[in-house]
Structure 1
Amino acid sequence: MLAWAAGRTAGGALSAEVAETEPHLRAALERHGLTCTDGGPFMVGLGRSLVDLPDAPPLPDGYRIRAQQTRAEVAGRAAAHRAAFGSTRVTTERHARMRQIWPYRAEFDLVVASPAGDVAAYCQGWYDAALGTGVFEPVGTHPEHRRRGLARAVCLAVLRAFAAAGGRRAVVQCRGDAEYPVPKRLYESLGFTPYTRTHAYA
C-alpha cells in the first residue's frame, strides 16, 4: 500500500495515522522510513459494554426521539448534520441514498425532533450482528439546540437499540486531544472508556 501511495504522490511526502493497537502497522511504517510525529490532533477509540446502561434522561418539554419517518425528517437530519459540522457534504439526496445501502437499519439512526418538528440532534448507529458490536458514526446537535442534553439522550437510545438487537458492546471514535474535548466528554458521561488512540506518521 505504501508503494502504491508513493507512486501517486509525485514525490510528495507520505503520511498516515494508525491505532496504538496496530503495532504491526506501526512497524511497517517505520521500516519504510516514516517516523512518529505525534503532537497534533489525534483520535481516541472508546468502548463500553451494553450491560447496565444508564437510565434514560428526561428530554426537555416537546422534544421526542424517533427514527426518521418522512422525507422531511430525512432532509432535516441532513440539514442538522450540515449545521452541526459546518459542512455541505451531507445533502438530503446523499443521506437518502445511504439509507438504502446495507448494513443501514433505521432503528439505529435516531433523531431528536424539536417541539416545532425540526431535527435538533441525531445519533447514527451501525450494528454488526456477527460481532455483537454497535458503532456511533456520526453524532451531532444543531447549534440552536445545544446544551439541553439531547445528544446524550439520543446516544443512549441507540445504545438501548443495540442491546435490544442482542449487542454486547458499543464503540465510537472521536478527537482525543484537548483542543476538541466536548465529544469525548459526552461519551465518557455515557460510560465509554478509552481502549486505543491514533498515532501520526510522516
Structure 2
Amino acid sequence: MLQVDPRHPELGDEVLAWAEQTAGGALTVGVAETEPHLVDALERRGYTRTVDRPFMACLDRPLTGLPDIPRLPDGYTIRAQQDHTDVVGRAAAHRAAFGSVRITTERHALMRNAFPYRPEFDLIVASPTGDVVAYCQGWYDHANGIGAFEPVGTHPGHRCLGLARAVCTTVLHAFDRAGGHRAVVYSRGDADYPVPKRLYESMGFTTYTRTHTYIGQSTG
C-alpha cells in the first residue's frame, strides 16, 4: 500500500524506487483513488492499473450522533482483555474469523505492547462459556482525534447474532469519550465480499474513497 505525505508528492518516486530494489522484482501496489500524485508516480514508472482485482473501500463517520450500543444475546458480554487467557482467546478468534494462522498468541501479545495500543479500544465479546467469539480492535490517533478499526472479526460459530455491530459500536463510543471526532475503517468494496461493508454502512459509515491496484513490469 503506497502512502506519501501529500505535502511531499515528489517522494512517491523515491519510495517506489526503494521498494522495487528491495523486492527485487515486480510489485503489486495499492493506492487510494483520491491521491492522483501517487497514481502519476506509478504510471511514470510503468505500472498499469488492474480492473478485475478485489479493492478496499475507505469509510468514515463522525463521532456525533452515535447509535446506542445494541443489546447482546443473553450471556454474552463486551469487555477489554483481562489476562493471558483472553489474549490466547483473542488470537484464536482472529484465526477462526479469517481462516488464517498468521495471528499467533505471541504475535498478538507483542502487538499489545506496541505504541499506540490502548486496551480500552481493543474489545472482545465473551460467550456464555467465557470464550472469546468476536472482537473489534480500535486504534486511536490522539493528535488528530481519529479512531480506526483494524481488525474486526467474529467466530463462524457465533455469527448473525449482532456481536460485531455491538462491539464496534462500543469502540465508537470509546473513541468519542477519548475526545475523537472521526472514525475510519477499510473493508472490501467489491461484490465478492460485501458483508463487512454492509455492516459498517448500517452503523453510519460512508465511503469517501476506494483503492486501485497497480502492477509493475517484471525486472526478471
TM-score by length of 2: 0.88
Alpha-carbon separation, structure 2, partners of 1:15 and 1:92:
30
What CA deviation, in whole Å up to 9, does each residue of 1:114-170 have, x standing for no partner?
000000100000000110000000000011110000000000000000000000000
Picking from 18, 25, 30, the partner of 1:4 is: 18
Which stretch shifts more, 163-172 or 93-102?
93-102
Tell me by how many angstroms 1:15 deviates.
Answer: 2.5
1:128: which partner in 2?
141
2:77: which partner in 1?
64
Alpha-carbon separation, structure 2, partners of 1:163 and 1:107:
12
What CA deviation, in whole Å up to 9, does each residue of 1:79-129 have, x standing for no partner?
000100111111111111111111000000000000000001000000001
Alpha-carbon separation, structure 1, partners of 2:22 and 2:178:
43
Alpha-carbon separation, structure 1, partners of 2:84 and 2:23:
42
Residue aligned with 1:126, SS: strand
Residue aligned with 1:7, SS: helix
Letter paired with 1:7? Q
Whether 2:156 is the aligned partner of 1:143: answer yes
2:206: which partner in 1?
193
Whether 2:32 is the aligned partner of 1:15: answer no
Tell me by how many angstroms 1:8 deviates.
Answer: 4.5
The runs of 5 or more residues in structure 1 that have no matched partner are: none
Residue aligned with 2:48, SS: coil
Whether 2:110 is the aligned partner of 1:119: answer no
Count of aligned pairs: 201
| Structure 1 residues 92 and 9: alpha-carbon distance in aligned structure 2, compared to 1, 3 A threshold | closer
Q: Over aligned residues, Cα RMSD in angstroms?
A: 1.1
Alpha-carbon separation, structure 1, partners of 2:178 and 2:63:
11
Picking from 83, 87, 95, the partner of 2:108 is: 95
| Structure 1 residues 187 and 3: alpha-carbon distance in aligned structure 2, compared to 1, 3 A threshold | same
Whether 2:179 is the aligned partner of 1:166: answer yes
Letter paired with 2:17? A
Letter paired with 2:173? R
Tell me by how many angstroms 1:18 deviates.
Answer: 0.5
| Structure 1 residues 55 and 8: alpha-carbon distance in aligned structure 2, compared to 1, 3 A threshold | closer
What CA deviation, in whole Å up to 9, does each residue of 1:161-199 have, x standing for no partner?
000000000000010000000110110011000011001
1:85: which partner in 2?
98
Alpha-carbon separation, structure 1, partners of 2:117 and 2:100:
22
